[in-house]
Structures are given as C-alpha cells and as structure tokens.
Chains A and B, each alone.
Chain A
Amino acid sequence: MTRPPTRRLVLTALGAVLLSACTRAAELPVPAEDEPVAAKPDALSAVASDARRDAATATALAAGDPALAPRLRVLAEERTLHAAACEQEVVRASGTVRGTPVAPAPTSAPAVSTSAVPAPDLAALQADLGAAATGAGALAADAPGYRAALLGCIAAACTVQLAVLG
C-alpha cells in the first residue's frame, strides 16, 4: 500500500524540478542580438557571391555591347556595392556571435580567372537578376530588421535593374 506523499516530500520534489529547469535555462546559449535565424552558413554570403557573379557578367557583356554598356556598367557597380554590403554584414554578424572581431573582408573583388567564367549571356544575366530579387526578398521576410532592410534594398534594386535592361 502506498502512503500519501508528505508535504516535505512534495516540496523537495518541486524544488528539484525548479532547480533543474533553472540549470537547463542557464545552459542555453544566449542568442546574440540580430543573430541570423539560420546562422550557418550565413545566407548573406550566397547573396554576396551572386552579386559578384552578376557584376562580373555585366562587366563582360559591356565590353561587347557598346549600346548597352553604360547601363551594364551601372548594374555592375550596384551589384558590387551589394556584395560589399552583404560581406560587411556577414563579418559584423559573425563578430557579434563569437564575441571577437573578425578581420574585415577584402574590399576589392576577388580576381576571377577568365577561363572559369562562362561566355556572358544577357538572357542569363536577366534570369540571375530575377532570381536575386526573389531570393533577397524571401530572405528579407524572416531576417532581423537591419538585414531585412538591406535585403529589401537589394531586391528592389535588382527588380529595377531588370526593368532597365528591358
């Protein structure tokens, strides 16, 4: 026959539960402010490399299309700025998470070997810009505020560039 639990037994058990809950809470990592939802790998790194790719394609296309060259050069400049802003944000976020500053990313575009770049193709560039606008917009929906604003700008700029290319 089981005895009813004594008052002391109940309080002791309750205390143990509370203590373990507190311990578990203490073990949880404290999320850093503005930490990206999916921290690894940083989604902005892909946004940055897509932007560098578009800048390289636009620059290559400009060389062979004098009529479109002024527009393509502006496009290349904007996408380079997008890449730089994303890379800066990746560095900032990783520095915040680890609590130690990280060396800044190189400011110049990494050298691209011409043999690795496929022949520039305007239709492909347009498709890539459309995908960049959609992708950045989708990321903006779930990102912390600062990133949402950055991604929103990039998405809007890509949509406008598509309109410029007609």
Chain B
Amino acid sequence: MTAPPASALAVALLAEHATVYGYGVVAAFVDDAVAAAVSAAAGAHRDRRDATAALLGDGAPVAAAGYEVPVVVDDPGTALELALLLEERTARAWHGVLADSEPGEARGVALDALTQDALRARAWRTALGTTPTTTAFPGQPAG
C-alpha cells in the first residue's frame, strides 16, 4: 500500500469526527420524512470515520469531546441546513486528500467519499428546496 499523506487524511478524519457529532444534532431535529435518510448518512460517516482511522493507524487524531456547530439548529429546516454544511465540509476535506496525495490507495477512498458526500448534499438541497441541487465541482474550495 502506498503510504497515504498523513496531513490531508488526518484533516479528513477530523472532518468525519465533527460530522458524526453534527449528525447527532441533525437527528434530534429533523422530520420523520427524512429521519431514515439522516440515520443512513450518519451511519455512512461513522463507517468512513472508522475506515479512515484504520488507514491512519496509531497516529490517527481522535474526536474532540464536543464541536461547535456552525449554524443554530432549532427546527427541521435548520437541521437540514446543518446536514448540508456537514456534507460540504467533508467533501472539501476529501477533495484535499485527492489534491495532496500521491497516486495510490488514498485516491480511491477519497473519490468514493467525495462522491457520497456530493450525493447526500444534493439530497439535502432537494429536501431544503434549494436550487440548483448540485454543484459543478463538489468539494472544491470556493474562489
């Protein structure tokens, strides 16, 4: 296996830790209509977090005790807004892994993560009624 670039992959793991935490907040406020999708998303991020930690091995950064949530969540709408922000943030982190890695195993993992994040971001934009529901370059930093 090609040694993955620790820094970008560690950043991605930190983003996954924060996202798993964030989905806990999301789950507490969303409507029943999207509860199953939120639960599936949270599960996917937990799996991604664990796989990324395993890839990093002993030096893997651990989760913080808590995270500052980037938006005030107090109803189903703001919960979905948070879910969208979480997906966009993890997508940026995995985009960073693609940009900073050498050809090798981390590329496949990063592309899959980026794609899954982009699919979920589209689902949350659809649920929010935001148009367009997609972006041309998912994960790419703005500007």
**Which residues of A come within 8 Å of B, CB atoms?**
70, 74, 77-78, 81-82, 85, 137, 140-143, 145-146, 148-150, 152-157, 159-161, 163-164
Contacts and interface: CB of A to CB of B under 8 A. Distances in A.
A152 B122 contact: no
A102 to B, nearest CB: 23
Nearest to A163: B119
A160 B136 contact: no
A146 B99 contact: yes
Nearest to A82: B136
B141 to A, nearest CB: 10
A153 B134 contact: no
A156 B100 contact: no
A81 B133 contact: no
Contacts of B134: 74, 78, 157, 160-161, 164
Interface string B87-121: 00001000110111111000110110011001100
B4 interface: no
A149 B92 CA distance: 10
A164 B103 CA distance: 30
Interface residues of B, number: 28
B132 interface: yes
B118 A145 contact: no
B22 interface: no
Interface of B: 91, 95-96, 98-103, 107-108, 110-111, 114-115, 118-119, 122, 131-140
Of B98, B107, B122, B132, most buried by chain A (CB within 10 Å of CB) is B98
Contacts of A157: 118, 134-138
B140 A81 contact: no
Contacts of A78: 134-136
Of B95, B111, B119, most buried by chain A (CB within 10 Å of CB) is B111
Nearest to B133: A164
A156 B139 CA distance: 9
Contacts of A70: 131
B122 A164 contact: yes
Given A145-B100, A157-B135, 18 more contacts: A81-B137, A82-B136, A140-B107, A141-B103, A141-B107, A145-B98, A148-B101, A152-B107, A153-B137, A153-B138, A153-B140, A157-B118, A159-B115, A159-B119, A160-B138, A163-B122, A164-B133, A164-B134
Contact of B111 (A77, A140, A145): A140
Contacts of A150: 137
Given A141-B103, A142-B103, A156-B114, A85 B98 contact: no
B115 A148 contact: no
Contact of A160 (B98, B99, B118, B131): B118
Contacts of B102: 145
A155 B111 contact: yes
